[in-house]
Structure 1
């Protein structure tokens, strides 16, 4: 039985998701389809990369991942299929897999060439489904396209350090359902560059000198109710081990989220400046 995931910016109001699922079932009646999300911000490549990196590895090896974000075929954006970490990805060549491939290199990549037989303004339905179902039947990637060695990478997804290794320069790559903003700075990078030093993290006019490991760690006095701390800003290592700027118990409909209350947006810069002084609380971060 084939396991196929879908990650798109289609939303659920229109017919697109249903049409894609119907086409898969027409090809593979016993397929199992899992929606990772259809709520990616329209054409947001970095958000897609973050979601994909932190979801695909929860699935068993051999899973086929269809990714439909900014998927219209053009000279700049080819369509590719790749095998990586025991998984298969069918997606546009627009940098979507950049966060995964920064750590794990694909074992095979092909440029999909079935477009000569299929003309479509809806390639996820007409091309990606065909390719995914072909792979699910045991087909070799080289049958659907010519093997290539290179693919598009998005450098903005990767944070940078300065020459003295005392500063990390990153950015906001995603905003979640609670309005919390997620950076591209991983806990691994923070630990390796920081080496236990004191730091100041800045995002616009806001600064942080502590990073929590859980949201409720911001509640400093257990005799107080959680309600007293609603709206309190904090930074933490989230479940994907990336630095997140959050509002405790945020709710976009009531309290608000970090994006609205702190005025933080996608692609805003986040910097971490380290001093030479060791942080006595650093051990709790590991």
Structure 2
């Protein structure tokens, strides 16, 4: 049985997702198809990269991941297939797997070259599905493409560090279903640059001097009466180990999420300033 995942910005109203699944099953009736997400914001490469990085490892080795975000073929947007960490990815060369390849070197990368036999305005259906099914049947990547040495990296995904090593300059990478704001600043970077120094996280007019590891840590000794903290803002390292700005027990229908209440959105700037010993005291990392 082959596992094939789908990550797209197609939504679920139209026929696109159903058509892709039908095409896979026509070639591989026993395939197990899993939807990672079809609600990626249209053409949002950074969002795609974050979701892929934090989902692919949960699948068995050998899983094939079809990525259909900004997938129209052009001279500047080639189609590629890669083997990374014993997983396969079929996707546009637009930076959508930047967060994976920044940590793990691909075993093999090819530029798909079957387009001379297929002319289409729906490449996920007519190209990516055929490539994924070919891989699932044991096909070698070099049969459907020529080997390449480099792929595009989305530079906005990586935060910057100032020359004095006392500030990380990042931004909002993703807004989740609860309205929480996930930044591109990882726990690893925070620890490597911060070196246990005191700090201030700044986002627009909002400041945070403590970073939690769980949402309910904000309640402290008031855990039995945690409702008094509903609506409070907090910063934490989420399950993916990225800095997140959240509202405790946010309710998008009544209270609102962090994106709304803090007035922040995708690409808005988030910085962390680290302080020397003679600067005002701030609460340390939990």
> Partner residue of 1:218?
218
CA distance in 1 between counterparts of 2:190 and 2:66 reads 32
The reply to whether residue 118 of structure 1 matches residue 118 of structure 2 is yes
Matches within 5 A, 1:73-112: 73-112=73-112
Q: Determine the structure 2 residue equivalent to 1:155.
A: 155
Q: Distance in 2 between matches of 1:56 and 1:79?
A: 19
Aligned equivalents of 2:153, 2:160: Cα separation in 1: 15
Counterpart position of 2:69? 69
Q: Within 2, Cα distance between the matches of 1:142 and 1:269?
A: 42
1:28 is displaced (CA, Å) by: 0.2
State the match for 1:137 in structure 2. 137
Alpha carbons 2:200, 2:209 under 8 Å: kept? yes
CA contact (8 A) 2:79 2:112 kept: yes
Q: Do the aligned partners of 2:131 and 2:144 also contact (CA within 8 Å) in 1?
A: yes
TM (norm. structure 2) is: 0.96
* Counterpart Cα distance in 2 of 1:80 and 1:275: 44
CA positional deviation for 1:227: 2.2
TM-score, normalised to structure 1's length? 0.96
1:227 matched residue in structure 2: 227
For the residues of structure 2 that align with 1:281 and 1:261, how far apart are their CA atoms? 24
Task: Find the counterpart in structure 2 of residue 187 from structure 1.
Answer: 187
- Name structure 2 gaps, 5 residues minimum: none
Partner residue, 2:33? 33
Three-state SS of the structure 1 residue aligned to 2:267 is: coil
* Cα root mean square deviation, aligned: 1.4
Q: Distance between the aligned counterparts of 1:172 and 1:280, measured in 2?
A: 23
Kept in 1, the 8 Å contact 2:64–2:90? The answer is: yes
Quote the Cα distance in structure 2 between the aligned partners of 1:257 and 1:77: 35
Structure 1 Cα separation of the partners of residues 261 and 136 of structure 2: 46
2:197 maps to which residue? 197
Cα distance, 1:218 vs structure 2:
1.1
Matched residue of 1:220: which SS? helix
The residue that corresponds to 1:273 in the other structure is 273
Counterpart-to-counterpart distance in 1, 2:283 and 2:205 = 25
Deviation at 1:224, TM superposition (A): 5.8
Q: In the alignment, is the contact (CA less than 8 A) between 2:172 and 2:182 conserved in 1?
A: yes
Cα distance in 1, alignment partners of residues 251 and 42 from structure 2? 22
CA 82–158 in structure 1, closer or farther in 2 if over 3 Å, else same: same
